[in-house]
Structure 1
């Protein structure tokens, strides 16, 4: 919907009126709905659209019909319309983190009391009071129309990922690149749970699942590409991702000022090539040249 930020771009939806260029082509939405009246239509990031575009949707959501630029009415009562928006995402994320923290504390109490419903702590829901007192005013301030919000049958809230969900996302990304490495270069890529934990730590609350994708590309795929460019990967080899450094942070008191105590470095990932006898040796991947040294190299 970021392509509909101007007032005149309403014509993209329903088509240009008679006498204007493109009148015979019809609108992007009306033409598709005429071909498939029982479609599922997604309006992605609807908060970026011009308010006049939302005016077009009032009749669409209320009566299930839409009139195009040619004056023809399209009946789409059997269609399902889904809108996505990032409005109030920060408020929802902070509220969900608070709920998860409270759920974790309740889980500890259940474990201490040997109760059987420990798994219930992972299921959190947003209260009706939070929706009405926090979310509703933000939506109303942005869309500025109660009649538009009143035509939405259901609002689904997407909460930040918990750790188990992040592990699934990391595993999915690693499997994607492992299949690509196998198909293109006949290289087998292996990893253990600790690798997934390290990559899951790269999750950014504001960027969602994209941050996991970027973390895998930055810390895993870049190493694979560099090793391939430096001819370190023989055809048909087996690679293993390993963690260098510990994720555990030692606990220190405020008065602990011993000279030998240092803050541990963040764990890094390294590539190891697994030989036929199951022994692993680390790949010596050369770091890319720093920009200020390229001139000396050339």
Structure 2
């Protein structure tokens, strides 16, 4: 246990202090046991905690910090390197991050507040220790039209939690032979010595948001793999090595059945409406649906949300222009026009980026290279009956 490990570390403390010529604070000893237990999954206590203690001392000695006192922050940095988990995902900072997670996601994902709320609740529940101990942090199916933020929620969730983001396009795993790439080819087949793409990715980064895009296109054998992951949080590759999925947030997306699902409210399986359940039953087997923590339906974007998407993309363009000392702003009329023209119900907001590059980016390119913005400046983008207007100033 962690308590027993703390006692062992305290017994070894004087020996390591003498060996590395430093001091370990009481809080550092406790953090060593706690963080090693929580984040290092390929070894056992007390060995992995002793390894952390030794690594911290060695890093101090190499950095010329002999005579100094080891603190919690020093332990966190070593655990971060050993477990491949970002430093700011440790206990203290993680708690602050979880408090702000809902607001942080809603700042960058627009028009999907209920979907974000459902995911955030599951993450908090797991971090509080109230989730199933043998299951992943969360297993979700994101359903809805294309271009409404399903993939972006997964990406931004990983960024907000400061953990790894891993995406697999399941259209690449439609054939039976392709499934072996996830866990590695069997002995005697080409690629046996290379390991599996999925198992290797999770072993490298145990704390991951795993996105399986367009899951309905995957071969049935993929679902057999996922049942094992959602049930026991482990997956064994062709070489017998186990990948631990306990700290993985598993997100699968589907566009199939979007027309039926988009009319329904967002919620967990028990609250799903008849039409949504009917659409899901056609697509996914009962044993798969029963293992999901939630089926979350993303609604088509409303115009106010689309305008926020325009603002977000213009800010991204501004970041690119900053290197050229160019500032850009939009009139409300230009923002409204881009929102109307850049959003299509069948494709969501995906055409928006292309429209902005065509109507604004291409014009600014010539001005930056050869014209009025060659030495930097400010541009105000508007719109009238003839099209986009550009007003330049130094």
TM-score (norm 2): 0.51
Counterpart Cα distance in 1 of 2:302 and 2:235 = 41
- Pairwise CA distance, 1:87: 1.7
1:245-276 Cα deviation digits (max 9, x unpaired): 3xxxxxxxxxxxxxxxxxxxxx62121223x6
Q: 1 or 2 for the larger relative contact order (CA 8 Å, sep ≥6)? A: 2
Gaps of at least 5 residues in structure 1 are 97-123, 246-266, 277-298
CA pair 127-57 structure 1, distance change in 2 beyond 3 A: closer
Asked if the contact 2:381/2:391 (under 8 Å) is kept, the reply is: yes
Which residue number corresponds to residue 271 of structure 1?
390
Higher helix share: 2
Which residue number corresponds to residue 209 of structure 1?
349
CA pair 74-189 structure 1, distance change in 2 beyond 3 A: closer
Which residue number corresponds to residue 330 of structure 2?
191
Counterpart Cα distance in 2 of 1:130 and 1:205 = 26
Which residue number corresponds to residue 310 of structure 2?
170
Computing the radius of gyration from Cα coordinates, the structure with the larger value is: 1
Which residue number corresponds to residue 254 of structure 2?
85
- Pairwise CA distance, 1:173: 1.1
- Pairwise CA distance, 1:226: 4.2
Counterpart Cα distance in 1 of 2:374 and 2:246 = 59
1:148-191 Cα deviation digits (max 9, x unpaired): 1111111122112222222211111112222322312x223222
Counterpart Cα distance in 1 of 2:191 and 2:255 = 33
- 1:235-254 equivalence runs, <5 A: 235-245=375-385
Counterpart Cα distance in 2 of 1:30 and 1:126 = 30
Counterpart Cα distance in 2 of 1:78 and 1:230 = 52
CA pair 64-243 structure 1, distance change in 2 beyond 3 A: same
1:183-227 Cα deviation digits (max 9, x unpaired): 12x223222222111111121122222122222122211222344
Which residue number corresponds to residue 276 of structure 2?
135
CA pair 214-131 structure 1, distance change in 2 beyond 3 A: farther
Asked if the contact 1:15/1:25 (under 8 Å) is kept, the reply is: yes
CA pair 74-187 structure 1, distance change in 2 beyond 3 A: closer
Counterpart Cα distance in 1 of 2:197 and 2:270 = 39
Does residue 67 in structure 1 map to residue 236 in structure 2? yes
Asked if the contact 2:368/2:375 (under 8 Å) is kept, the reply is: no
- Pairwise CA distance, 1:128: 8.3
1:269-291 Cα deviation digits (max 9, x unpaired): 121223x6xxxxxxxxxxxxxxx
Asked if the contact 2:368/2:376 (under 8 Å) is kept, the reply is: no
TM-score (norm 1): 0.67
Asked if the contact 2:202/2:208 (under 8 Å) is kept, the reply is: yes
**1:160 corresponds to which of 287, 294, 300:** 300
- Pairwise CA distance, 1:17: 1.0
Which residue number corresponds to residue 27 of structure 1?
196
- 1:102-141 equivalence runs, <5 A: 131-141=272-282
Q: CA RMSD in A?
A: 2.7
Which residue number corresponds to residue 8 of structure 1?
177
Asked if the contact 2:266/2:297 (under 8 Å) is kept, the reply is: no
**1:44 corresponds to which of 213, 227, 238:** 213
